[in-house]
Amino acid sequence: MKQLIPLVLLFIIASCSNTKSITSSESKTSLTSMVKMADISIEGMACQEGCADAIQANLTKIKGVNAAEVKYESGKAKIEFNPSLVSSEEIQKTITDTKVKDYIYTIKDVTITSKK
Predicted local distance difference test score (pLDDT) of residue 31:
53
Strands, DSSP E only, in 1-116? 36-43, 65-71, 76-81, 106-114
Predicted local distance difference test score (pLDDT) of residue 15:
62
At residue 17 the predicted structure's pLDDT band, cuts being 50, 70 and 90, is low
Predicted local distance difference test score (pLDDT) of residue 107:
98
Q: Is the pLDDT of residue 81 over 80?
A: yes
Residue-wise pLDDT for 86-101, tens only, equals 999 999 999 999 999 9
More confidently predicted of 20 and 111: 111
Which residues lie closer than 8 Å to 68 by C-beta, 6 or more apart?
56, 59, 60, 77, 78, 79, 80
